[in-house]
Structure 1
Amino acid sequence: MFFWLDQHLLMGQIAVRRNLEDEETILDFARRVGSQQRLDMLLLLTFADQEGTGESKNWTSWKNLLLWELYHQTSRALANREEFIIERRKSIEQIKEKTKARLSSRIDEEEVEAHFNNLPLRYFQTFSEEAISIHIELIHRFFMNQIDSSSNVLAPVVKWIDKPELDHSEVIIVTWDRLGVFSRICGSFSILGLSILSADIHTRNDGIVLDVFKVCTSNKEFASKEQYKNAFCKILEKAFLSESFDITEQLTKNRTIIKEDFEGEFPTSITFDQDSSKKYTILDIQTPDKPALLYRISNALLALGIEIVSARIATEKGAALDTFYIVNKNGEKIVKDEEIKEILRNIRKAVGI
Structure 2
Amino acid sequence: FFKTKSCLEAACLAGAETEDEGRGASWLRQRVAELVADDEQLRNQLQDLPDDYLTGFTPESVARHLQLHRKHAGRLQQRVLLFPEARRGYWSLLMLSKDRAGLLAKLCGVLAIHNFSVLAAQIFTWPDGTVVDVLDVQPIAELKFDEQNWQALEEDLNKAVNYRFDVGLKLHGKKQGFGLGPKRKIQQLQLKVVLDNESSRKYTIIEVYGADAPGALYQLTQTLSDFGLDIHRAKIATEVEQLIDIFYVLQRDGSKLVDPEQQEMVRTTLLKIIGMDEIE
Q: Deviations over 1:156-202 (max 9, x none)?
A: 221111112xx221111111111111111111111112111222222
In structure 2, the residue corresponding to 1:24 is in which secondary structure? coil
In structure 2, the residue corresponding to 1:90 is in which secondary structure? helix
Give the counterpart of 2:174 among 243, 246, 254: 254
Residue 300 (1) aligns with residue 223 (2): yes
Residue 24 (1) aligns with residue 6 (2): no
CA distance in 1, matches of 2:122, 2:59: 16
CA distance in 2, matches of 1:272, 1:349: 15
Give the counterpart of 1:311 among 224, 235, 252: 235
After superposition, the Cα gap between the structure-2 partners of 1:315 and 1:199, relative to the gap in structure 1 and judged at 3 Å, is: same
In structure 1, the residue corresponding to 2:26 is in which secondary structure? coil
Aligned to 1:224: 145
After superposition, the Cα gap between the structure-2 partners of 1:19 and 1:115, relative to the gap in structure 1 and judged at 3 Å, is: farther
Letter in 2 for 1:163: R
After superposition, the Cα gap between the structure-2 partners of 1:85 and 1:349, relative to the gap in structure 1 and judged at 3 Å, is: closer
Aligned to 1:127: 57
Q: Which has the higher contact order (CA 8 A, sep 6+)?
A: 2
TM-superposed deviation, 1:134:
1.0
Q: Deviations over 1:86-127 (max 9, x none)?
A: 7524346623531322xx3xxx5224422432x211111222
Would you tell me which structure has more helix in proportion to its own residues?
Answer: 1
CA distance in 2, matches of 1:278, 1:18: 22
Letter in 2 for 1:204: W
TM-superposed deviation, 1:239:
1.4
Aligned to 1:56: none
TM-superposed deviation, 1:19:
8.2
CA distance in 2, matches of 1:145, 1:168: 28
Query: In 1, are the aligned partners of 2:250 and 2:257 still within 8 Å (CA)?
Result: yes
Is the deviation greater in 232-241 or in 187-196? Answer: 232-241
Unaligned 5+ segments in structure 2 are none
Aligned to 2:133: 211
Aligned to 2:31: 95
Letter in 1 for 2:34: K
Compute the RMSD of aligned alpha carbons. Answer: 3.6
TM-superposed deviation, 1:326:
2.1
CA distance in 2, matches of 1:323, 1:340: 17
CA distance in 1, matches of 2:165, 2:21: 47
Residue pairs, 1:259-274, within 5 angstroms? 259-262=182-185, 268-273=191-196
Would you tell me which structure has more strand in proportion to its own residues?
Answer: 2
CA distance in 2, matches of 1:228, 1:20: 37
Q: Deviations over 1:116-142 (max 9, x none)?
A: 32x211111222210011101221232
Query: In 1, are the aligned partners of 2:204 and 2:248 still within 8 Å (CA)?
Result: yes
Query: In 1, are the aligned partners of 2:17 and 2:200 still within 8 Å (CA)?
Result: no
Aligned to 1:110: 41
Letter in 1 for 2:234: S
Residue 240 (1) aligns with residue 161 (2): yes
Unaligned 5+ segments in structure 1 are 1-10, 28-81, 147-152
Is the deviation greater in 282-291 or in 198-207? Answer: 282-291
Aligned to 1:44: none
In structure 1, the residue corresponding to 2:55 is in which secondary structure? helix
After superposition, the Cα gap between the structure-2 partners of 1:137 and 1:343, relative to the gap in structure 1 and judged at 3 Å, is: same
In structure 1, the residue corresponding to 2:148 is in which secondary structure? helix
Query: In 2, are the aligned partners of 1:169 and 1:223 still within 8 Å (CA)?
Result: no
CA distance in 1, matches of 2:128, 2:3: 38
CA distance in 2, matches of 1:85, 1:129: 15
After superposition, the Cα gap between the structure-2 partners of 1:141 and 1:225, relative to the gap in structure 1 and judged at 3 Å, is: farther
TM-superposed deviation, 1:208:
1.6
Query: In 2, are the aligned partners of 1:142 and 1:156 still within 8 Å (CA)?
Result: no
After superposition, the Cα gap between the structure-2 partners of 1:169 and 1:93, relative to the gap in structure 1 and judged at 3 Å, is: closer
Query: In 2, are the aligned partners of 1:21 and 1:125 still within 8 Å (CA)?
Result: no
